[in-house]
Amino acid sequence: MSENLPETWQGGPSWRPVARSRAHELVIEAIEDQIMVGALKVGDPLPPERDLASRLQVSRAGVREAIRVLEGQGVLRSNVGAGADAGTFIAAMPSEALTRFLRLHVALSNFRLDDVVDARVMLERSSASLAAANSDQRAREAIRGPLEQMDVEGISREEFNDADTAFHVAIAEAGGNQLVADMTIAIRASLRAPILEAFRQLEDWSQVSAMLREQHHGIIEAIAAGDGERAARLTEEHIRAASAALPALRSPGG
């Protein structure tokens, strides 16, 4: 077999069919291989779907299914139209993908809520500690924004929940570790529905929200003071207290 086939992408990735199970898996493997060997980096374009199909000897439908899968993982991004922006590109959107992933699996109870809470404690302890050590003035202000939203009188439980999420996300991002931040975001987002449901079932809402508010202020103070150990401790206490105050969290409500 001579390699006389025209290599349209000179020096670029060599798109050759690999193993064979389902067609779209072949395409996924071909693209992943190019990523693994470094032939495709973030921002690089993929060949047009029709080209890929003929090069890999599969139908365009198979190519499209593969692209969809990788798009769902936050690895690809497609634009219609013409010109430099048109086509499919290697992307870097891990956060959204991770969030969707965890949200689904938590909803399916593939992870015990206790495990999720424990993992959250571990991650956010780390984030708080990192934020205390690394955060600058701007990052701390980003944390205070949602804090003030939660202090507003008469805020709805849903708004409170979203501001609470924003608060914890801001701390995670202030920590400076992107992977930890993304995992934190994903876990908090995956708990949004159950927490909101638990909020609704709550009788003494004002009391619980007052407690949460107070704990939040304690955490931001520790971070601003650069006291990582205290920030971590208060964060763990906060999460566990909130978890304990929301008994509905323990029994997944259908």
Partner DNA sequence: ACCTTTTAGTGGTCTGACCACCAAATCGAT
Partner DNA sequence: ATCGATTTGGTGGTCAGACCACTAAAAGGT
Interface residues toward DNA, by CB under 7 A:
21-24, 46, 48-51, 57-62, 64, 67, 78-88
Whose structure tokens read 């008469």? 154
Return d(Cα 52, Cα 89) in angstroms, integer: 13
Binding residues among 9-68 for a second copy as defined by CB under 8 A: 24, 32, 35-38, 41-42, 61, 64-66, 68
115 binds a second copy (CB under 8 A): yes
**Least gap, CB of 36 to DNA (angstroms):** 21
From DNA, a second copy, none, interface partner of 85 (C-beta below 5 to 8 A by class): DNA
From DNA, a second copy, none, interface partner of 87 (C-beta below 5 to 8 A by class): DNA
Task: Tell me how far CA of residue 105 lies from CA of 116, 140, 165, 191, 240, in angstroms.
Answer: 11, 32, 19, 11, 22
Q: Print the binding letters for residues 61-100 with a second copy: x by CB under 8 A, - otherwise.
A: x--xxx-xxxxxxxx--------------x-x-x--xx-x
Closer CB to DNA, 78 or 177, in the complex = 78
Exposed/middle/buried for residue 35 (C-beta within 10 Å: 0-12, 13-18, 19+): middle
Q: 150-165 burial, b if ≥16 CB within 10 A, otherwise e?
A: beeeeeebeebbbbbb
Closer CB to a second copy, 32 or 217, in the complex = 32
Return d(Cα 102, Cα 113) in angstroms, integer: 12
Which residues, 6+ apart, have CB-to-CB distance to 137 below 8 Å? none
Closer CB to a second copy, 55 or 64, in the complex = 64
From a second copy, DNA, none, interface partner of 108 (C-beta below 5 to 8 A by class): a second copy
Asked if 67 and 51 count as a contact pair (C-beta separation under 8 A), the reply is: no
Task: Tell me how far CA of residue 186 lies from CA of 16, 85, 108, 109, 141, in angstroms.
Answer: 36, 29, 15, 15, 22
Return d(Cα 98, Cα 149) in angstroms, integer: 27
**Least gap, CB of 60 to DNA (angstroms):** 5
Closer CB to DNA, 26 or 130, in the complex = 26
Closer CB to a second copy, 170 or 180, in the complex = 180
From DNA, a second copy, none, interface partner of 35 (C-beta below 5 to 8 A by class): a second copy
Closest by CA to 52, choosing from 24, 90, 73, is: 24
109 binds a second copy (CB under 8 A): yes
**Least gap, CB of 68 to a second copy (angstroms):** 4
Residues of this chain that interact with a second copy (CB under 8 A) are: 24, 32, 35-38, 41-42, 61, 64-66, 68-75, 90, 92, 94, 97-98, 100-101, 104-105, 107-112, 115-116, 118-119, 122-123, 126, 177-180, 183, 193, 254
